[in-house]
Structure 1
Amino acid sequence: MEITLEAVEKVMEETGVDYKTAKEALTASDGDVDAAIKAIQPQTQEISEDIKALMEKLKKKVNEGNVDRVQIKKGDEVVLSVPVNVGIVGGLVGLAAAPWALIAGSLAAFGFGCRLVIVKKDGTCDEIV
């Protein structure tokens, strides 16, 4: 069956995946949009659950104290660095979830090729796995 741009866009819209993933799923399902969506959804749900678990570990570490900043690294490059006091200041004005949402969103956007690193006040680093 022919795979159309409309079919690829429909799969992308329904699942939130990129063009390549949507097209591969359509190819594997012989162009059946519903089958492609069903094949992708368990994968995206697993990733979402993994991100939630990672965020819980991160929040636990931060609540233990002695944390200066949270970084997302891809290889040796720091993709995102969020000072922990941003969360504290944000909490005073009702925006405590904003830094956590930023970190979770970044992990989702960059995928699991990234590492989540806690930088302690003494300069040492702990990786969250």
Structure 2
Amino acid sequence: MEPPPRIRSTAAADALIASLERQHGPLMFHQSGGCCDGSAPMCYPAGEFRVGGQDILLGHIADGVPVWIGAAQFDYWRHTQVTIDVVPGRGAGFSLEGPEGVRFIIRSRIFDDAEVDTLDAAGPPTRGG
């Protein structure tokens, strides 16, 4: 059995990501840990956010955009499937969607026991570095 994705995105988020890619080129996300912009998914041009050994790759969305999360926060969310969505409102200060009048948000659900077992059997996620 293939493990479920740890990260997903909605059609609305995918459409915004495609628009931002046309403007800025390849993108990346980092799920912030709650500092300046709360715990918002932050969208950057690829490589603008320095990913280190304490970052975990949750997976890819929107045809290949990587989504990273800090290892400490991943420990809290390891049993949660994260979905990036978009809603009207002011975007996070450093995230690319800020001027668009919308913001990326996180929706989540807890993996069931079978999904957790499958994820555990697949081994640890990829770390940055």
Taking structure 1 as the reference length, what is the TM-score of the superposition? 0.28
Question: Whose relative contact order is higher, 1 or 2, with alpha carbons under 8 Å and at least 6 apart?
Answer: 2
- Rg larger in structure: 1
Taking structure 2 as the reference length, what is the TM-score of the superposition? 0.28
